[in-house]
Amino acid sequence: MNNEDMLQWRIIGDGDDSLVYSKNDLVDVVLERFIVKACST
Amino acid sequence: MDLRAAYSKRELNEQQFTSISNNKIEEILKEALFREGRKEALSWALDSFSSLELDLDNVETETSSSSSTQRFAERLLLNVPFRDVVLTKALLGYFCEYNAEKVVELISSSSSSGWREFFLSDDDDDERKKAFFQSNFRFDGEHLKGAKAICSFSLRRRNTHWHHLRWRNNKSQSPVICATKPGTFCELDCVQTLRGSLGEDDEFWSSEEFMKSLKRNGGEDAKVLILSDIEYFVSILYGKLSRTSSTDDNNFSELHVRSYLFSFLKKQNHLITCQKLLPFISNETDVLKLANNLFTKKDECKSLLGCVFAGVEWQSVEDFVLAIALTFRARIFAQILKDCNNEEILKQEIVLIDASKSKLNIFCQFFIARLKINANVLDIEEVMRKSGIEFKRVALEYIEDFEDDEDSVQSIKKSKKKRKKRKLMMTTTKNKGEEHN
């Protein structure tokens, strides 16, 4: 297990601060957010 | 958002970033996508329709009153034409399987009953006749199902139809005897009666008595009959839809069948509908038509689903499938690419990709960002920092202290499980120790 596997992230100001993301989940969430924003502008 | 973030110094030194056209990037990705097989890639696209039920409400629709399943049913029936024989038959089979009582209604409303042909096969040992007619004569006179229908119909129409009945050993019985001792009907040669003029008479198959026998037991008996030979009923309904049926009934027309199918699809579980029908779409362009017509141009995208389906007209099946792979299946597609040689894509400078031309370019841009993050060429934390997304790192040990955190992601559950397992192992060890003592 490398160091990144030991880490998780919370996105602050997201409404639900209790959500904790693994790296893969975080990438999904962040990139999806970017895509939606890019498509709607 | 800022995707220029953080190429590590090591990577900057080692990598020589190049720039190729958007078309070339799409070409590379499509090649990788379809390498494993076109069918497999298409199945991703079909699966994406299944997620509509969950996400459609996040898309601001022009007609907000219509539910997601209604919209899908409407678009499916409008855009996937009935000329697709395989799909149409799959739809009719689905209709027969899940809505047998309506099939009974439709078949029974025909002036020339489909029931006659169903029961009058050449096989004397036909189990359907036995199960519905022959096996239901009772010595105590309490006849059931088809047997009851024959008895009641013959007695009521005794003046015109009694002579149609065929008796065993040519030992005819009179209506008076049969009315006073209903058990006498057990002497009836059911098979010969049905194969004879009674069976040939449409009046019997459309009679109140026969209809009653079908509706008995809440229509369950009729359902069993339909399920026993769905193919037969599908062929009758298909004949109506394709207008090859010779009969012309006001109550059983192509329009009637279409309207029944529409009402049926609207009420069905969307996921089951997708599973039952979408794999049977034989023409790829029909998949494209469906994708392009699910939403109107006025619909807005507030979710990934909206981005892929709303306000866009995919020019080819390949483009649509790639869009699905780059969005809904991005994680698994990235994994597939990792196993292939994806160095050429990793060398692309993200900011040089022109994402202004099409949605597909946008999806490509962010997909390459994903590949770079996975390959540690790009740092997700720095991307978030530069894009103004505030975040907090959480160490795994810290998370383990949240016993009641219901919303935690799977990894937390896993860590809890591991901890519980550890506790269990400790308890077991302790117990074993006690046993030894």
Would you list the DSSP string of B265-318? HHHS-HHHHHHHHGGG---HHHHHHHHHHSS-TT-B-SSHHHHHHTT---SSHH
Max avg pLDDT among B115-124, B136-145, B296-305, B354-363? B136-145
In chain B, residues 335-374 whose CB comes closer than 8 Å to chain A: 355, 359, 362-363, 365-366, 369-370, 373-374
Range name among B82-91, B342-351, B388-397 with the lowest pLDDT average: B342-351
Instruction: Verify whether the Cβ–Cβ distance A24 to B331 is below 8 Å.
Output: yes
The answer, yes or no, to whether residue B236 has pLDDT greater than 80, is yes
Which pLDDT value is given to residue B424? 37
Q: What token pair was written down for B68?
A: 């997601």
Q: What is the pLDDT of residue B414?
A: 52
Nearest to A19 among B307, B395, B407 (CB): B407
pLDDT of residue B96: 94
Q: So what's the pLDDT on residue B422?
A: 42
Asked if B403 is an interface residue toward chain A (Cβ–Cβ < 8 A), one would say no
CB A21 within 8 A of CB A11: yes
- Chain B residue with the nearest C-alpha to that of A4: B395
Q: How confident is the model over B406-428, as a mean pLDDT? A: 46
DSSP symbol at B341: -
Residues from chain B contacting residue A13 (CB–CB below 8 Å): 390
Q: Does A29 touch chain B (CB under 8 A)?
A: no
Shortest Cα distance, chain A CAs vs residue B16, angstroms: 25
- Chain A residues with beta carbon closer than 8 angstroms to that of B369: 31, 34
Are B245 and B236 within 8 A, CB to CB?
yes
Query: Taking CB atoms and an 8 Å limit, are B391 and A23 in contact across chains?
Result: no
pLDDT value of position B409: 47
Q: Burial of A41 by CB count in 10 Å (0-12 exposed, 13-18 middle, 19+ buried)?
A: exposed
Phi-psi region of B221 (alpha: psi -120 to 50; beta: other; left: phi over 0): alpha
Higher per-residue pLDDT: B276 or B300: B276
pLDDT at B436: 40
pLDDT digits (tens, 9 = 90+) for A6-26: 788 999 887 777 788 999 999
- The mean pLDDT value for B415-426 works out to 45
How far is Cα B131 from Cα B47, in angstroms, rounded to an integer?
A: 41
Give which of A1, A2, A6, A27 to mutate to test B binding, by max B Cβ within 10 Å: A27
Q: Do A34 and B387 touch (CB under 8 A)?
A: yes
Residue that has been written with the tokens 């105590």 in this structure: B140
> pTM of this prediction?
0.72
Residue with tokens 């006498």: B184
Ranking B31-35, B76-80, B425-429 by mean pLDDT, the lowest is B425-429
Q: Which chain B residue's Cα is nearest to A29?
A: B304
Contact A28 B355 (CB under 8 A): no
Among A6, A18, A21, the residue with its CB nearest the CB of B396 is A6
Nearest by CB to A10, from B366, B369, B394: name it.
Answer: B394
Q: Which amino acid is at B280?
A: F
Mutate to test the interface with B, among A2, A17, A18, A20 (most CBs of B within 10 A): A20
Q: Looking at beta carbons, which residues of chain B come within 8 Å of A27? A: 370, 373-374, 380
Phi, psi (deg, nearest 5) at residue B115: -70, -35
* Chain B contact for A26 (CB, 8 A cutoff): yes
Q: Do B327 and A35 touch (CB under 8 A)?
A: yes
pLDDT above 80 for B268: yes
Picking from B304, B331, B405, the nearest residue to A36 by CB comes out as B304
Tens-digit pLDDT profile for residues B156-181? 999 999 999 999 888 889 999 999 99
| pLDDT, average across residues B264-290 | 89
Q: What is the pLDDT of residues B1-60, one digit of tens each?
A: 555 444 444 444 444 445 567 777 888 889 889 987 888 889 998 888 887 765 554 554
pLDDT value for B20: 60
Mean per-residue pLDDT, B333-339? 84
Size of interface A-B (CB pairs under 8 A): 101
Q: Per-residue confidence at B317, pLDDT binned at 50, 70, 90?
A: very high
Q: Determine contact, residues B359/A37, Cβ cutoff 8 Å.
A: no
Q: What's the pLDDT score for residue B319?
A: 94
- Give A6's contacts in chain B (Cβ within 8 Å): 395-396
Q: Is B412 on the interface with A (CB under 8 A)?
A: yes
- Rounded CA-CA distance B233/B106 in Å is 10
Nearest Cα of chain B lies from the Cα of A6 at a distance, in angstroms, of: 5
Residue B143 has pLDDT above 70, yes or no: yes
- CB distance from A40 to chain B under 8 Å? yes
Confidence band of B300 (pLDDT split at 50, 70, 90): low
CB-closest option in B389, B399, B407 to A30: B389
Give the start-end residues of each E strand in B14-103: none
Q: Is B8 an interface residue toward A (CB < 8 Å)?
A: no
pLDDT of residue B120: 81
Å from A23 to nearest chain B CA? 8
Decide: helix, strand or coil at residue B113.
Answer: coil
Interface contact B399-A8, CB threshold 8 A: yes
What does pLDDT average to over chain B?
Answer: 78
